[in-house]
Amino acid sequence: MSQVFSDGVVARATEEINSNPPSRRHAENILPHRHKVASPPRQTLFQEFKQNFNETFFSDDPFGKFKNQKGSRKFILGLESIFPIFEWGRGYNFKSFKGDLIAGLTIASLCIPQDIAYAKLANLEPQYALYTSFVAPLVYAFMGSSRDIAIGPVAVVSLLLGTLLTDEIPNFKSHEYLRLAFTATFFAGITQMALGLLRLGFLIDFLSHAAIVGFMAGAAVTIALQQLKGFLGIKNFTKKTDIISVMRSVFSAAHHGWNWETILIGVSFLAFLLTTKYIAKKKKNLFWVAAISPMICVIVSTFSVYITRADKKGVAIVKHIEDGVNPISVDEIFFSGKYLSAGIRIGLISGMVALTEAVAIGRTFAAMKDYSLDGNREMVALGTMNVIGSMTSCYVATGSFSRSAVNYMAGCKTTVSNIVMSIVLLLTLLVITPLFKYTPNAVLASIIIAAVMSLVDIKAAVLLWKVDKFDFLACMGAFFGVIFQSVEIGLLIAVAISFAKILLQVTRPKTAVLGKLPGTSVYRNVLQYPKAAQVPGMLIVRVDSAIYFSNSNYIKDRILKWLTDEEAQRTASEFASIQYLIVEMSPVTDIDTSGIHALEDLLKSLKKKDVQLLVANPGPIVIEKLHASELSGVIGEDKIFLTVGDAVATFGPKGVDS
């Protein structure tokens, strides 16, 4: 049993409890200046609804800056809210442009080879990824609020999109496949815009950090395994993404399907890329070495294949990339027909994943530079970007962590770095694309493998194991779901485990028995503070959650279980029996009708045991509902206290709370 007061105190307390009736002790111990629990000012139904609505959807008070402003000023503020570039653009100077120019050129050199590689993950022609990196960053630069995020195709979303699209249309070379990709991009943008405009950005927080860590790591492994086709020069490769099917396909081609020239190219440039990443990691001022290394790999390998004509010896190459600016693709989107529902479903899934990644990246760099990031504005910007992209031959774009990190390290100041990158991509589309004809696929595979390795965060997984085993389970569930089944199954497991954790915490909240710390008037959990002594004749239980229909019966049963166990232990130790149960309600932020009924049932059970219920520190919402249900009168207004100390001083033995 947890510690009780010293023998002398216990003896005096037990004698007093046995000799004095509760009413007499109550009268003797009342202190004249003890505060009562106050009820909040009464509100009308409309006022209460308005307050809750604003707190849920407009906690950041987005319309506050429009108050007491003239019409012209309101128009300017509204324009700045939609296009933040007009807000910070007034103070833009040459020094900022210099930083943005260097950063933009640096990330452009990184994104061009990555785009060509990522397009293969989505089973699209390379030019569509280049189109995406031209249009999407340009739109985001005018509407986005993050100064550091670099926009474009990313590995995880490309793989997810390619997997979901091929499930609907296996022939990815067909025109319907391309149209479905544009349709999915359109509805991904609509989803993102809707979440931002309806102020529903909090929904993406339901995908926990642990689930994201596992999902990203699993996607990285899956992406890397998919690159073995180009890395080893295998022609007949499985279309499945699970690790068993991929490894079976790899080893079945070992004797006759591997190309040693391709392997040599892949291994050599992968070693070079990993070396440059290691150098950049060790010496932060050499970040640019890793940033330009993919472009160096593309240039050197393309030139080498061209002069040696290695493509004649079985080395697979890119062959052809269409040049020119993005063609309009509005007419290609399915607004009706059998693929409309598939486009909506794929767009919803890919849009949510893309949004989660972008917001996480934006928040990371905003915290590093100490500026605020408007999540709902970001969602509108990303959604608009993808809607416009779907109409200009682009597929789903989002923030890239590797490019954003390079953008940050290169000294970007604003989103102008995205504009610079976009201009470089435009020049590439107009002039340079024919030069990529002889780029070997093995180099593109090496670039992807090197890029996705950073998505496997072992340190984060170890920390999850140390801090929260359930979080680690969520991480591993998402990870194994992706690599052994598919990306969408892994995502489903990640979401399911995240919701399971929320449900578990809501339906099975913590309760704790409290005791008084020696020499203080502070009451704390006796398990956390073994020296905290319980009060003779009293049991103090704290409820660490709101009381709702989903947990009210559990909380009631748990409190009665504490009472039964403590009563048995105290009786066996010849201590005073429990006559008062104090429920400490500081953490209880709300209570519904089921919670009220549970307290009524608890009160009935306590009366049968001849135990009185005392309530300590109910919050404003709780005390208001106790009054509204008239339960406060049933409990007794004189038995509802501001603190546990007040309850103990009033009904407990003399000298205990002094």
Q: Please give the average pLDDT of every successive group of 10 residues along the chain, which has 658 residues.
A: 47 46 45 67 76 74 78 86 89 91 91 91 94 96 92 92 93 94 97 90 77 88 89 84 88 81 92 92 86 92 91 85 92 94 95 90 85 86 96 95 88 93 94 89 91 88 92 90 86 83 88 91 92 90 93 94 89 82 94 94 93 93 92 91 91 68
Q: What pLDDT does 34 receive? A: 67
Structural domains in the chain? Answer: 93-316+329-499 (no CATH), 509-651 (3.30.750.24)
Q: What pLDDT does 10 receive? A: 44
0.85 cut: is pTM over it? no
* Residue recorded with tokens 């767009």: 347
CA dist 499 → 205, 405, 496, 551 (Å): 11, 31, 5, 16
Exposure string for 522-535, b = 16+ CB within 10 A, e = fewer: ebbbbeebeebbbb
| Cα 428–Cα 431–Cα 435 angle in degrees, nearest 5 | 85
Cα gap 203→593, rounded to integer Å: 26
Cα gap 615→642, rounded to integer Å: 9
Q: What pLDDT does 304 receive? A: 92
Cα gap 416→96, rounded to integer Å: 9
Q: What pLDDT does 493 receive? A: 86
Burial class (CB in 10 A: 0-12, 13-18, 19+), 54: exposed
Q: What pLDDT does 203 receive? A: 74
Whether 245 and 485 have beta carbons less than 8 Å apart is answered as no
> If we measure between CA atoms, which residue out of 126, 109, 106 comes closest to residue 117?
126
